[in-house]
Amino acid sequence: MSFIAGPVTVRTPASSANLGPGFDALGLALSLYDDVTAEVLSSGLEIDVVGEGSDGVPKDETHLIVRAMYAAFDLLGERPSGLRLSCINAIPHGRGLGSSAAAIVAGITLANALVDGDGLDGAAAFQLAADLEGHPDNVAAAMFGGLTIAWLEGEAAQVERLDSAVEVTVFIPSEAVSTEKARGLLPETVSHADASANAGRAALLVRALTGAPHLLLAATEDRLHQSYRASAMSDSYDLMSSLRADGIAATISGAGPTVLAFARGLGDRLPEGWALHELDVDLEGAHVVVT
């Protein structure tokens, strides 16, 4: 196997999973991006990170993008002797906007692009991304863009992608919350009534996001995870609840603590010390940037 000469740049979108009732199934790609450039070297590993995570991520083989690249190269049959990696990150870490999924998808996409010949096909790349992330919802949105419905058939990751054109505002707190901590607050069982309610709202949410935005407030109601996680992100939960009380469809993005609202013009609701981004749905997903 051989590798191409010269650098390759991949742009990968942020993503919001769950979207209220679609727990571990629904994902939405957002127009906030990490740009990663990789180049094969004769030896060694060089990593440079600018932007989000620059002061905290490892600069060695444990870097998530490198791990994903190596996993893809291993499936293809050979790792290069050396790599140079340059990351310009805009997706905040530990905020429920899919930073780890973006890193995994970027790594797999870069590995494919650096191979001189056929890389992993779409199904194999998605399966690898889901295996590395541990669940398919965020990686599906990051890889394919748009609104994604992801599920497992046995161990096989599956995805259905749909277009969506909703407008989004995200409120990002200054402090992170780990996904492991947020998941640890969930109960082992839920009532049949709550499960049934969420199933209906998740189905309604797909319709709302693909052409019936007037249904978004009702469609984003959730009984499975957000209230259980409130103690870990009380300010986020209070903001979400306040927005919903005013008729604005709002959810906790992924495992939190970012709050996502399907509306614009909400700058006056921004808590002190938080960041706000008005975003669109990214319809392209991870892709090689042609310069």
Measured distance CA(152)–CA(136) in Å, rounded: 8
Q: Which residues of 171-202 are buried (b: 16+ CB within 10 A; e: fewer)?
A: bbbeebbebeebeeeeeeeeeeeeeebbeebb
End-to-end distance of the chain based on CA atoms, in angstroms?
26
Residues in the chain: 291
Q: In this structure, which long-range contacts are made by residues 150-154, counting pairs with CB atoms below 8 Å and at least 24 apart in sequence?
A: 150/25, 150/26, 150/27, 151/25
Q: Consult the annotation and say whether 96 binds a ligand.
A: yes
The tokens of 230 are what?
A: 């409130």
183's CB contacts (< 8 A; 6+ apart) are: 255
The tokens of 114 are what?
A: 């650096």
Q: Which of 207, 247, 243 is nearest to 226 (CA)?
A: 243
Q: Consult the annotation and say whether 145 binds a ligand.
A: no
Separation of CA 255 from chain center: 11
Q: Consult the annotation and say whether 31 binds a ligand.
A: no
Measured distance CA(83)–CA(39) in Å, rounded: 6
Q: Consult the annotation and say whether 98 binds a ligand.
A: yes
Q: Consult the annotation and say whether 207 binds a ligand.
A: no
Q: Consult the annotation and say whether 99 binds a ligand.
A: yes
Q: Consult the annotation and say whether 97 binds a ligand.
A: yes
Q: Consult the annotation and say whether 122 binds a ligand.
A: no
CA angle 166, 289, 161 (to 5 degrees): 35
Q: Consult the annotation and say whether 174 binds a ligand.
A: no
Binding-site entries for ATP: 92-102
Binding-site entries: 92-102
